[in-house]
Chains A and B, each alone.
Chain A
Amino acid sequence: MVAASPTISTAELAHIAQKLRVHVVKMIAAANSGHPGGSLSAVDIITALYFGRVLKHDPKNPTWPDRDRFILSKGHGVPALYAALAEAGYFPVSELMTLRQVNSRMQGHPVQGLTPGIEASTGSLGQGLSVGVGHALAARLDGKTFRTYVLLGDGECQEGQVWEAAMTAGNYELGSLTAIVDSNRYQLDGAVEDINSLTPLDAKFESFGWRVIQVDGHDVGAVRVALHQARESHDVPVCIIAHTVKGKGVTYMENNNDFHGKSPNADQLQVALSQLTD
């Protein structure tokens, strides 16, 4: 378990991120199924949120009403989130290895009410930002100061519902809402640009009334800075476009969409583990 520290250095954050990556590849290999590409691209973002003193949360009290919310809209990336939740102390690290097995809390996609720390059942893409709008509205209605973060895939942004939610958040000026797009340039069948391009993504969010911050999604220090900037925003919602690499950290998975939804075999796992050192 990783202890919360008031002043955590970028080097320490990077160290935690590597640790989460090791969990991710081991879990997926043990399950012999899962989505390594989109889990690994999200690791640094999730590390900055949970260990960069961005999220206000209490692993021992996951339903604390004043906690900040994190909604993983791209639910197939959940191994990265389980790894972070385990290291933060929500449940034992040993439970990670039961991923995708019968009777496990480590379901293939996030399940609200089953796994401590999971805020929404996702896996059907396109729905998380709307749920985030609901949390942000509830905070406003109750005069609470908690903030809501939603992580989306770039391919996921092809779903119309994402833009219904974006429009609503912009018009309601939901300053407590932050969307983060894991912009790894690939979806399931290929490149987002080839299948149905979202370019320019920043101008789309801006035209819906959002403030946009672009960041290198694997510079965990820069991601932390961006998330802290978003915290300071109270007038309009913020979208952080995190430029990432699908499969980040394992050379044969990087930008190789074969590993969107395929687990490494035993030999590939050994190669991955040999690369995931500090």
Chain B
Amino acid sequence: MTTTGTTLTLGKATREAYGEALLEVGTENKNIIVIDADLAKSTFSWTFGKVFPERFFNIGIQEANMVGIASGLASCGKIPFISSFAAFILCKGFDQLRMGAAYPKLNVKVAGSHGGISIGEDGVSQQSVEDVALACALPGFIVCIPSDEHTMHAAVRAAAEHEGPVYLRLGRPKTYVVHEAGVHFEFGRSIQVRDGHDLTIVANGLLVAQALMAADTLAKKGVEARVIDMHTIKPIDAAALERASHETGAFVVAEEHMHHGGLGSAVAQALVAGTPAPVEYVDLGDRYAESGKPDDLLEKYGMTAKNIVSAAERVLARK
């Protein structure tokens, strides 16, 4: 996996970092209450739960109820962090998130684990490919997909400190480390992880590492790609996109999500409001995936470094 320029090592899964960070911020702030819906060992909320049983509720398999309870807790000044698989918490809890978090602007923090198709063998019912679209459709929500353990750690802290609703997507597989520990992190402020002037690859989640690998391959062909970790989809970092549009003039957006309503939509929307440039997309398209090993699925459904390289070549031809 190592090519010139970038040496990536496999770190923790972002869900594991979520649990550790939750324990850390929960130790400092006694207002933090954690709820899970019978997936506490999978989401790693149990890392907090086993230390603070009095502030931890595993309420069983009832995601909509969990969101409602969080709404009540937040109304009483608590800071609830609620977790389940992304597919369940957003799809089953959507109206409750709308009425009980977004509309009353409550301080509810939503963690959707097992995002994307890289959860693998369990298949479509457990794969979340529309969570970003749903979360972005909740006015006032911050929507964030950290790319590695360090940004996940920082994002949990930022979520605890932010006054208002936040959605964080966590991933199941171990993830390449793309940032330094202690990296500066702010919601809405993207992180440039590689500079280049021929095109910009905008990615989030585990596609950031793939983007760096793609940039290495492109460099061998004489193409210098800028790579931006756009961890926050809402609010999008329009300033960084505007700058990249001027300086590179072409974009590839890569994400582990269906084509509609995700990072690709947010980037395109921002670009046409500023300085438009051609964009190519690397995503799932308008479909569901299936069961299989994570790598087999990412390969079959076209979300690897290789796909980013071809998208880059396509977009350069349009420049």
* A189 and B41 within 8 A (CB): yes
Residue contact B126 to A123, C-beta cutoff 8 Å: yes
What 0/1 pattern do residues 21 to 40 of B give for CB contact below 8 A with A?
00000000000000010111
Is residue A104 contacting chain B, with contact meaning CB distance below 8 A? yes
CA distance A72 to B166 in the complex (A): 35
Residues of B within 8 A of A101 (CB): 291-293, 296
Chain A positions within 8 Å of B92 at CB level: 124, 126
Within 8 A of B (CB), among A81-128: 100-104, 106-109, 111, 121-126
Query: Within 8 Å CB of B40, what residues of A?
Result: 189
Among A139-147, A154-162, A264-272, the one that faces the other chain is A154-162
Structural contact, A155 and B38, CB atoms closer than 8 A = yes
Interface residue B5 (Cβ < 8 Å from any Cβ of A): no
Interface-lining segment among B60-68, B137-145, B276-284: B60-68
Q: Does A195 contact B (CB under 8 A)?
A: yes
Q: Report which residue of B36, B120, B292 has the largest number of chain A beta carbons within 10 angstroms of its beta carbon.
A: B292
Q: Specify the chain B residue showing the minimal Cβ separation from A75.
A: B125
Contact B60 A187 (CB under 8 A): yes
CB neighbors of A among B51-92 (8 A): 58-62, 64-65, 87-88, 91-92
Contact in complex: A123, B123 (CB < 8 Å): yes
Which of A100, A103, A192 interacts with B123 by CB under 8 Å?
Answer: A100
Q: Given A102-B290, A108-B123, do A187 and B297 touch, yes or no (CB 8 Å)?
A: no
Could you tell me how many residues of chain B have their Cβ less than 8 Å away from some Cβ of chain A? 32
Interface check A33, CB cutoff 8 A: yes
Main secondary structure of the interface of A (DSSP, over half): loop
Tally chain A residues at the interface, Cβ within 8 Å: 32
State the CA gap A233–B61 with chains docked (Å): 31
User: Smallest CB–CB gap between B126 and chain A, Å?
Assistant: 6
Which residues of B have CB within 8 Å of A106? 291
Closest B residue, CB atoms, query A110: B125
Given contacts A100-B121, A102-B297, A123-B122, contact A107 B61 (CB under 8 A): no
B124: CB under 8 A from chain A?
yes
Residue A188 lies at the interface, judged by CB distance under 8 Å to chain B: yes
Instruction: Give chain A residues whose Cβ lies under 8 Å from the Cβ of B60.
Output: 155, 158, 187, 192, 195-196
Q: Is B314 an interface residue (CB 8 A)?
A: no
Q: Which of A108, A111, A124 is the most central at the interface, judged by chain B CB atoms within 10 Å of its CB? A: A108
| CB of A34 closer than 8 Å to a CB of B | yes
Q: Is the CB of A188 within 8 A of B91?
A: no
Minimum CB–CB distance from A37 to chain B (whole Å) comes to 14
Whether B291 and A108, one on each chain, are in contact in the complex, defined by CB atoms closer than 8 angstroms, is: yes
Quick check: B39 and A124 within 8 Å, CB to CB?
Answer: no
Distance in angstroms from A173 CB to nearest chain B CB is 27
Rounded to whole Å, the gap between the CB of B130 and the closest CB of chain A is 13
- A31 interface contact, C-beta 8 A: yes
Complex Cα gap A154–B96 (Å): 24
Q: Contact between A121 and B125 (Cβ–Cβ < 8 Å)?
A: yes
* Min distance, Cβ A27 to any Cβ of chain B, angstroms: 12
B243 within 8 A of A: no
Q: A158 touching B62 by the CB < 8 A rule?
A: yes
A158 touches B61 (CB 8 A): yes
Contact call B41/A123, Cβ cutoff below 8 A: no
A residues less than 8 Å from B64 (CB atoms):
160
Question: What are 9 A-B contacts defined by CB distance under 8 Å?
Answer: A100-B123, A100-B291, A101-B293, A102-B292, A107-B124, A108-B121, A108-B126, A111-B123, A196-B62
Interface residues of B (CB under 8 A from A): 36, 38-42, 46, 58-62, 64-65, 87-88, 91-92, 120-126, 290-293, 296-297, 300
Nearest 7 pairs of A and B residues by beta carbon: A123-B125, A196-B60, A102-B292, A108-B123, A158-B60, A100-B121, A108-B291
Given contacts A109-B124, A122-B125, A159-B62, 15 further A-B contacts (CB under 8 A): A33-B120, A33-B121, A100-B292, A101-B292, A107-B124, A108-B123, A109-B122, A121-B124, A123-B124, A123-B126, A125-B61, A126-B92, A160-B62, A187-B61, A196-B62
